[in-house]
Chains A and B, each alone.
Chain A
């Protein structure tokens, strides 16, 4: 039984300020809450199939052949055809810094665009797109972000196991197993909540003390120009109300959801499709419950690292993922394309779930931007990054086309995505100006 929250909870805090409040159906009324904008980045390593023309299997190319407002799906992407009005292919883009770096770094920089060939002193990488989103959306939901990967942890620099980097450019460890994800995201551990509450209380007490000492100080300063101090007091009051909002989350139960489709015993060691589908199901459910609004998922790793390298073999294809990506022969290239088709099927599954599951504002997909792509086109080629955008029609995205943006910077595209998410950003990484594309018409 879900207890509706008292309405006045919503109204406490500072008048006029953007106060973070749980925007849940549990609150009985959601009309006041602004709808949730979500972001999901999905990465596949080693590029996509772009068969050599001499092999005569062009129908297996990942990119649609023609540019334009209608997508001609290929054998590699055909599973996505039923969502033709919800997807867009973008081609021709790249990271400027990708051209300068060792191509194995392309997964490290896919979401960051960082100059990894010439890092600024003391730095590791730079903040990733999903974390910029998380920074903005975290006040609305329980967890700033969900970082997933085929291999738990972070891998290591230049062969990363995560595509997500925090504000300081440090890698954010990824979760790989559905059960662990479920336990962390969907099961509130009472002991944990208690600890969390203690921490919050301490913080609230201290912030309150600081605010008091600031007020005392203001009195001491007498006739001085107090504009800056007033601004500080306003800010610290808002910090207090944010803390209160965080504490309220501890008491807000998760909305009831149907978990019956989940197989939490799925692991990367088992059936690849079973594994990916359970992970995607978890993403969709987490979005629906508004547990988080930012997700990054690394489907497989660069350069044959990790367990996903063996997935093609398990699917009955002839070589490992990394080996297939280097194939020049017709057979190898066909196999690589078939693996792409397998991945397209998984992405289609996610889209299916995001269409079926709804929040108070409709199908999740309509306010979720899904970014699917790779850091190289064919393996080790850092230009023309394969990029698929799905969802977000309510965020102004106009789907159904394949648009070429030859030479455009990924960072410009990312900047434009942030803007579509309603995030005020002047720049992202090495962006120069937001990408203009019919996608954002």
Chain B
């Protein structure tokens, strides 16, 4: 460890990377030629070896041997252990020797110095040797690497329609030095991993195969909503735990459904009779048996969430449905708020859901023709009115609201005697609008009626669009008794209030479905696919599908005696994004069906075993089925030997007394568990570089750009031998497919170390806006950004500096962008041209993740930038260096502490490669937001002498002078990810040349990606 550290101090990072690889990789040892040592040397190899062994090394030993050989070499450099022939990364080490000697750094001043002449001769020989060594062919012998856990999961998903996430069953993949999980050197294979892959194969086969002759059981029910919709409401007072908040029994109806299917099935009837000993009165312990008999004790309409909706009611029953306001996230921290989830947290709570399979939730929803609730100061000035003020005393409301013209109206209530703040519900044609209002404080002078009177003061309540005609109007609610009159007047069409209202009513809320389980603390609800926009004011059915095993299940035993045990939840929300006023979501009914099947046997079974019952088919058909399955899973034609082997597995099982189905299950398990299925192979015939086979290329491309298996078009091209010829079209096709998100999510997350954001616990007292939802959205921003750059093929400098950002409603509100996107959770490009934003450094999630959530951390940021964005990795910290105390509250500023720390001997040299990058980033605070600071706190000098005064200058510098370095860093990381290993010296040189040809076009991002794929590192084996 110490040796490695010393070595790291003395050598530049590129060499270190190579060198530490040599140190830590026992499989490689020192010289890479150790394995090839039995082979006769080529003439060129012999020449290199003789110069190195006979001239250069003996001289080095003479000069440097005192410190650099034997068991305790300085800096870990052992001249006596150099390979016979410098190959690949050892070339870097030789180049470094050369540089040290040229610059006179070695031997050190206090050691005997060689003669100038000697040095000159040695250098000449060294250059000659290195020139030859660099042109030596590097043995290229293909290889095999295991799929990552995610790749295996995606393989099962794409090829076998297996939707259940099994990644938790497999030990997680290790992370390489560059942050990647697909690096061949870091992804170990242990018995635990081998066993886990085997278990997964067995599990998938066993659970995918059904008996096609046995009809499935299907659970289907619906909950319909509306004020007083239920003619026979459950007579029991329903309670679901402490602070139970349930929809009135009269306002919903549950019915079981019997959907039409093209196959026969057994309807699953939910249990209605129960016997519980506790839990049926709040959380109290009762310990008294009680019997229940109603579906309403099995399925609940639960609204429990965080109380205190800021404007209006979180929920309200309309005549034809349930109105939901956006689900404002709550901090969910005990002591600061309750922990029952967001404000407006409607869910169906129920006792039974299927244990496996896909399910479908259909929400019949519409955009409610809603009123925009007003603050009590939002009077309508006469200048913006289009009609005189009309006053209807409360006792005359029965006559209705006579509206002469279609238009937008403001409605105020006159309640001068109202005390405090009370809810008043106004019903217009039965549509409810509830608002807590305060006593009227007096109308504007201009608010006189046509006869010049202001009879009583009004409180602004809402604006609403009304068609001409006489509308029914009524008021009730706690404040209604104090309401003496209703005022209304038409809003002038082109006025600002009218425009605001039009923007309000245009916005379509997003409906989201979530599934989880009930508990008293923290939400377990997880989204079932993305939220969907409800554009129309007409009913539409929004469909959400998921696999039930991917959601938390309570796993309580069937005979649990507590009323509250094992309750599942299906949450339906109007999703909250930036908090702008928006029409409410109206839900008429929610239907559930699961397992959701459109065919029987289901697709997973058909992919594995066809659609017929296995019991009735003969050996020839079995052979065909197995051959087809192996070809599918191996992503290349299965060989006759392989199929024979599978058939023997089948026959062996039959001999042991297995049925056809059981025997097939065994053989199919062997297919899935075989290393042809979950390894990526590149078969090589010799040390020379060979082209990938078309099948290998198909998999290499798809596991790079989709993180999953090739699809039929790719395989068909491979089959015809056309894939290499159509590479660029295929790259574009793959990148246009939604599966490319899996590449972006994986590559960007790992390259930029976004997992640090998952672990970040931000100081919520200082940064209260950092909710769980904000964090989740900020986490997507870098991924969306790289996707945007690739799609638009923008120059690589946009990685670090750009007039554009991508934002969704949540992040736009957080960054306070002038232009607000309206696409809910979807990111869209926005031209902001605000220098702190634009590029990765301005992304709050990244900057915050590189800190502790309390203070910004220039060291972490600097080291990250050096590694990730300019590919100049600093050295690892030496062991036993005390960390800077996180979140220390002493008066010393971070910079002062840093100064104290790095000025210790041994620290300064490394920090020189880190801190200058990080200090200008101090402009981003611990939550990643740009703050103006005096330049004394943000000025640094880069290693090359460039002075940088703040983050904005740093961005400009990276995007300008260092653009080629940034482009290279992206390409280099992308290449390592694409090939699942480090680049060799030759590959790196070749890729660099390819990248340099893009300089004139300013390194377009997709061009860089293509360069990676076209490089030798990718295309040869």
Residues of A participating in the B interface, judged by any CB pair closer than 8 Å: 100-105, 116-124, 152-159, 167-168, 170-171, 173, 202-203, 205-207, 209-210, 212-214, 216-217, 220-229, 231-232, 235-236, 238-239, 242, 303-305, 309-310, 320, 322
Contacts and interface: CB of A to CB of B under 8 A. Distances in A.
Interface stretch (B254-262, B552-560, B597-605): B552-560
B1001 interface: no
B521 interface: yes
8 contacts: A117-B339, A122-B165, A156-B556, A213-B642, A225-B141, A225-B142, A225-B143, A236-B191
B194 A232 contact: yes
Contacts of B202: 203, 206
Contact of B522 (A116, A205, A242): A116
A157 B519 contact: yes
A100 B333 contact: yes
Contact of A224 (B287, B656, B682): B682
Given A156-B556, A206-B649, A105 B521 contact: yes
A231 B557 contact: no
A45 B482 CA distance: 52
Contacts of B763: none
Given A102-B520, A206-B669, A213 B674 contact: yes
Given A156-B565, A322-B285, A168 B169 contact: yes
A170 B555 contact: yes
Contacts of A121: 526
B142 A205 contact: no
B922 to A, nearest CB: 25
Contact of B521 (A117, A229, A235): A117
A242 B191 contact: yes
B374 to A, nearest CB: 36
B156 to A, nearest CB: 16
Contacts of A103: 334
Contacts of B566: 156
Interface string B761-779: 0000000000010000000
Contacts of B551: 122
B666 A206 contact: yes
B145 A216 contact: no
A220 B685 CA distance: 10
B189 A232 contact: yes
B552 A209 contact: no
B562 interface: yes
Contacts of B521: 101-102, 104-105, 116-117, 158
A101 B27 CA distance: 47
Interface of B: 27, 141-146, 165, 168-169, 184, 188-191, 193-195, 198, 202, 278, 283-285, 287, 332-334, 339, 517, 519-524, 526, 550-552, 554-557, 560, 562, 564-567, 639, 641-642, 645, 648-649, 652-653, 656, 666, 669-670, 673-676, 679, 681-687, 758, 772, 1021
A242 B675 CA distance: 20
A228 B142 contact: no
Contacts of A168: 168-169
A320 B284 CA distance: 13
A273 to B, nearest CB: 21
A105 B521 CA distance: 8
Nearest to B658: A202
B524 A235 contact: no
B552 A122 contact: yes
Contacts of A205: 649, 652-653, 656, 666
Given A117-B332, A119-B524, A235 B562 contact: no
Contacts of B193: 235
Given A102-B334, A117-B332, A124 B557 contact: no
A368 B468 CA distance: 83
Nearest to A207: B198
A228 B670 contact: no
What are the 4 A-B residue pairs with the smallest beta carbon separation, nearest first?
A102-B521, A225-B143, A235-B194, A156-B565
B144 A216 contact: no
A154 B332 contact: no
Contacts of A236: 191, 194
Most B Cβ at <10 Å: residue of A105, A203, A221, A236:
A221
A178 B555 CA distance: 23
A415 to B, nearest CB: 17
Contacts of A225: 141-144, 684
Contacts of B556: 153-156
Contacts of A123: 552
A423 to B, nearest CB: 14
B522 A216 contact: no
A213 B645 contact: yes
A431 B190 CA distance: 25
A227 B641 CA distance: 24
B1021 to A, nearest CB: 8
A402 B474 CA distance: 71
B684 to A, nearest CB: 4
Nearest to A225: B143
A161 to B, nearest CB: 9
B673 A210 contact: yes
Contacts of B184: 228
A210 B554 CA distance: 36
A219 B856 CA distance: 55
Nearest to A120: B758
B554 A239 contact: no
Given A118-B332, A158-B521, A209-B649, A202 B666 contact: yes
A217 B641 CA distance: 10
A213 B670 contact: yes
Contacts of B195: 239, 242
Given A102-B520, A209-B649, A226-B143, 11 more contacts: A102-B521, A118-B332, A122-B550, A124-B517, A154-B557, A159-B520, A202-B666, A213-B670, A224-B681, A238-B191, A320-B285
A214 B552 contact: no
Contacts of B287: 309-310
A221 B681 contact: yes
A223 B686 contact: yes
Contacts of B191: 235-236, 238-239, 242
A427 to B, nearest CB: 11
Given A124-B552, A156-B565, A224 B683 contact: yes
Nearest to B285: A304
A156 B143 contact: no
B194 A167 contact: no
B524 A124 contact: yes
Contacts of B645: 209, 212-213, 216
Contacts of A304: 284-285
A147 to B, nearest CB: 13
B144 A220 contact: no
A228 B145 contact: yes
Contacts of B334: 100-103, 117
Contact of B144 (A159, A170, A229, A303): A229
Contact of A158 (B519, B550, B652): B519
Given A156-B554, A232-B194, A223 B141 contact: yes
Most A Cβ at <10 Å: residue of B191, B639, B676:
B191
Nearest to A238: B191
B759 to A, nearest CB: 9
Contacts of B333: 100, 117
Given A209-B670, A217-B676, A229-B675, A224 B144 contact: yes
Contacts of A305: 278, 285, 562
Contacts of A120: 758
A98 B552 CA distance: 21
A122 B287 CA distance: 32
Contacts of B653: 202, 205
A212 to B, nearest CB: 7
Contacts of B146: 228, 232
B522 A119 contact: yes
B189 A303 contact: no
B670 to A, nearest CB: 5
A117 B334 CA distance: 8
